[in-house]
Amino acid sequence: MGTIYLSTPLTTEKVEKLRAGDRVYISGTIITGRDAAHKRLIETIQSGSELPINLASQIIYYVGPTPARPGEVIGSAGPTTSGRMDPYTPILLEKGLKGMIGKGSRSKEVKDAIRKYKAVYFASIGGAAALAAQQIKNARVLLYPELGPEAIYEFEVEDFPVIVVNDCYGGDLYIDGIKKYHRILNADI
C-alpha cells in the first residue's frame, strides 16, 4: 500500500499500477453521476444511440453535490453509496469508463467487470462532504441539467483523496481488511 499522485485521464497503464489499499490523490477532470444519470446513459446505449459523453479513460464520482454558497465552487460533495449504480456499471465499463469513486462495497458482477475491463474502484470518505468539496476547483453541469444535483457534472479536482478498494487484479480492500481483522482476533485468543 502506497501513496500515489494520479492525473487524469485514467489510462489502462495507470490502472495497472494501482493496488487495493493504495492512497491516491487525483488531479484533473472527473465527471459525476448518480442513479438517474446512470439510468439515462444506459437507456441511450440500449436504444442504439451514441452516448452524449465519451467515457473512455474517465473517472466518475458518485455524488449529488449541493448548491454552492456565494464565493464557493460547489456545495458539499460527499460520495453516494456505490451499490446503487451496480446494475449499470458493467455496461459503462465496457464503454471505456476506467474509474469510479463512491462509498461501500460493490457486487460480484461489478468486481468481475473491473477485472475484465481493467478498471478501478476508489472509495472517498463518507461524512466529509464539505472537506471533499475543498478539493474541487471548478464545477460545471455537463449533461442532464434538469436532474438538478443528479446531473452529470464535470469537476476539476486537485489532490482529491481516495483509496483503492477494488483493483484490476481482483484485490478488495474491504475483504482484505476483514481477513486481517480475523487473523489479529484469532492471534489474540
For residue 187, the model assigns a pLDDT of: 66
For residue 96, the model assigns a pLDDT of: 97
pTM higher than 0.85: yes
For residue 182, the model assigns a pLDDT of: 59
End-to-end, the C-alpha distance of the chain in Å comes to 28
Separation of alpha carbons 159 and 49, rounded Å: 35
For residue 183, the model assigns a pLDDT of: 62
Beta bridge partner(s), residue 156: 29, 138
Architecture of domain 3-186: Alpha-Beta Barrel (3.20)
How would you classify residue 170: left for phi > 0, otherwise alpha for psi between -120 and 50, otherwise beta?
Answer: left
For residue 164, the model assigns a pLDDT of: 97
For residue 90, cis peptide bond before it (omega within 30 degrees of 0): no
Do 143 and 152 form a contact (C-beta atoms < 8 A)? yes
pLDDT averaged per 10 residues in sequence order, the chain, 189 residues: 92 98 97 96 96 97 91 90 97 98 97 98 83 89 95 96 97 84 61
For residue 106, the model assigns a pLDDT of: 97
For residue 188, the model assigns a pLDDT of: 60
